[in-house]
Amino acid sequence: METVREPQRVPAAEFIRGFANWRLQASRKPVMVTHHGKDAHVLISLADYRRLDGKGEAEGRDALAASQAALVEAIRDAVILVDRTGRVAGVNPAAADLLERAATALTGRPLPDVLPGFARSVLFAHFLRMLDHRERFSGEVPGLIEPQRWLRVDLVPLPIGGAMVLRDISDAWGTRAEQDARRALADAVEIDGTIGVARVSVREAIEAANPALAAMIGADEAAIRRVRFSALLAAGQRHAFTEAFEGLFRTGDPVRIASELVTRGGSVVSVTLAMVERRSAYASEGAVILAVRR
């Protein structure tokens, strides 16, 4: 709740002499001008004056509405406004781009005509509940525009009827599928139990190793952590490994070489090493090395 600002009081004669100063004071809080010790006049800011007759609030509401409309026009998400009959009342430029049709060609059409897969989608029931019961909905839905194309959908009830906010997340779903495939491959490697895997830094330091690699050299997984991978190799194989490892980061191409691991007991295990670079969006983070017995 806004607190009441007590006015400053100043005699009329002093007010006249220091008008410039009191004008600045009035921009912060009202100045009461007295005459013979009695309140006579009040100097207030223009903003306070406009608030007296409500014009300031009306202008503020108009500015807010204009700002909201400009925001909807500018955002990258597609926004489709619908009336209570389910017809398109308006779209923003992002929606016109997503649907590849002009805004004038979309306005006034039933929403199922605009989104080919809408009437057959589970989204249709949620859309009707938004119009009839003012219920919101958020979810990820495929096939509204094209088969296998995923959209993030938000249904928002509005006085006009409602809004459908769409964001294309097909690339994200593709990334998820790739991540699932990689996890499945990693699980398959672990279940096989004969393929040694090490995650190493750009300086060869082992950050993590699987049980199969630890079993090949007869050591505990924790014992080889932070050890240089070349230290696990026979002395005669280290130079070739270092050359291949450095070449991996120069070219970015995967490398495959024959090598030999040395066990804790001193025996030698012939292996094939496959090395692939681990690269983030900004820099190389190291490599993954697979060791398979020959």
Average pLDDT of the residues in 70-75 = 87
- Are 221 and 271 contained in the same domain? yes
Residue 174's pLDDT band (boundaries 50, 70, 90)?
A: low
Q: How confident is the model at residue 78 (pLDDT cuts 50, 70, 90)?
A: very high
Q: What is the mean pLDDT of the chain?
A: 86
pLDDT score at 37: 81
Q: What is the CATH number of the domain that holds 40?
A: 3.40.1620.10
286 shares a domain with 200: yes
Q: Residue 182 falls within a domain, yes or no?
A: no
What's the pLDDT at 259? 94
Taking CB atoms within 8 Å and a gap of at least 24, the contacts of 131-138 are 131/82, 131/84, 131/86, 131/157, 131/161, 131/162
Instruction: Quote the pLDDT of residue 1.
Output: 40
* CA distance linking residue 120 with residue 106, whole number of Å: 20
Same domain for 215 and 268, yes or no, is yes
Query: Token match 């009081």: residue?
Result: 9
Residue 122 phi, psi dihedral angles, 5° rounding: -65, -15
Q: Which residue has the tokens 């600002």?
A: 5
Confidence of residue 247 (pLDDT cuts 50, 70, 90): very high
Higher pLDDT pick, 6 / 197: 197
Pairing of strands 31-35, 8-11: parallel
Is 185 contained in some domain? no
Q: Which tens digit of pLDDT belongs to each residue from 121-168?
A: 889 999 999 999 999 999 888 888 887 788 899 999 999 999 999 998
Q: Do 196 and 189 contact (CB within 8 A), yes or no?
A: no
The residue ranking higher by pLDDT, 181 or 222, is: 222
Same domain for 39 and 86, yes or no, is no
Split into its structural domains, the chain has a count of: 3
Name the residue among 193, 223, 181, 203 with its Cα closest to residue 291.
193
Sheet holding 38-43, edge to edge: 8-11, 31-35, 38-43
pLDDT at 176: 64
Percent residues over pLDDT 90 in the chain: 41
11 pLDDT more than 80: yes
**The pLDDT value given to residue 69:** 82
Residues 166 and 203 in one domain: no
For residue 241, tell me if it sits in a domain.
Answer: yes
Domain interval for residue 210:
193-293
User: Which pair of tokens denotes residue 247?
Assistant: 């070449």
Within this chain, do residues 166 and 92 fall inside the same structural domain, yes or no?
A: yes
Same domain membership, residue 198 and residue 289: yes
Are 274 and 247 within 8 A, CB to CB?
no
pTM: 0.50
Mean pLDDT of 23-28: 83
Task: Find the DSSP H helices in the chain.
Answer: 12-17, 19-26, 46-52, 55-74, 93-99, 103-106, 111-114, 123-133, 170-192, 211-217, 238-251
Structure letter (DSSP) for residue 124: H
**In the predicted structure, residue 233 carries a pLDDT above the cut 90:** yes
- Mean pLDDT over 86-92 rounds to 93
* 187 within some domain: no
Q: What is the 3-state secondary structure (H, E, C) of 27-41?
A: CCCCEEEEECCEEEE
For residues 85 and 38, membership in a common domain is answered with no
Q: Within a domain: residue 155? A: yes
In a domain, 252, yes or no: yes
The encoded tokens of residue 163 equal 């809004």
- 109: domain CATH number? 3.30.450.20
Q: Is residue 80 part of a domain?
A: yes
The pLDDT value given to residue 55: 58
Do 80 and 163 belong to one domain?
Answer: yes
Q: Is the pLDDT of residue 2 over 50?
A: no
| 273 shares a domain with 228 | yes
Cβ-count burial 143-156 (b if 16+ within 10 Å, e if not)? bbbeeeebbebebe
pLDDT band at 34 (very low <50, low <70, confident <90, very high): confident
Q: How far apart are CA 32 and CA 9, in angstroms?
A: 5
| pLDDT tens track for 262-271 | 998 889 999 9
Q: Indicate whether 140 and 199 sit together in one domain.
A: no
